[in-house]
């Protein structure tokens, strides 16, 4: 997949297609980038989580930003909106890793 960055992403740049997962810190949607029609995953994380979770989020963003490998889910960018961090990642249509046996 093209793992290029989305320049200055904003909430209105995306059309939400469906919810694909959720957890204690947030929710993940399948979205379409309106300008490029690219399908991606949008991970929305509430910022009212514990400091340990915030630290983990920052670490995850740093790692995603530095990685460029065909074996790692692509990272397109991130933005903050209304007290939430939105992380834009490559959409993987095979489901969650925790469901793979």
Cα within 13 Å of Cα(32), Cβ side: 7
- Mapping DSSP to helix (H, G, I), strand (E, B) and coil, where does residue 2 land? coil
2-29 pLDDT, tens digit each: 456 678 899 999 999 999 999 877 899 9
Please give the pLDDT value at position 82: 81
Residue 31 pLDDT level (bands cut at 50, 70, 90) = very high
Question: Which sequence spans correspond to the domains of the chain?
Answer: 11-90
Q: Is 47 helix (H, G, I), strand (E, B) or coil?
A: coil
Whether domain 11-90 has CATH 3.20.20.60: no
Tokens at 24, concatenated: 């204690």
* pLDDT tens, residue by residue, 56-101: 877 888 787 788 788 888 888 888 888 788 999 999 887 666 665 5
Task: Read off the pTM.
Answer: 0.76
Cβ of 53: how many Cβ atoms within 10 Å? 16
């Amino acid at each position: 997949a093209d793992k290029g960055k989305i320049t200055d992403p904003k909430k209105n740049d995306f059309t939400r297609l469906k919810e694909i997962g959720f957890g204690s810190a947030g929710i993940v949607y399948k979205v379409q980038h309106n300008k490029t029609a690219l399908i991606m995953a949008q991970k929305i994380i509430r910022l009212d989580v514990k400091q340990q979770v915030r630290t983990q989020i920052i670490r995850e963003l740093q790692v995603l930003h530095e990685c460029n490998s065909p074996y790692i889910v692509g990272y397109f960018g991130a933005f903050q909106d209304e007290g939430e961090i939105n992380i834009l990642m490559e959409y993987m249509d095979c489901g969650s890793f925790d469901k793979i046996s």
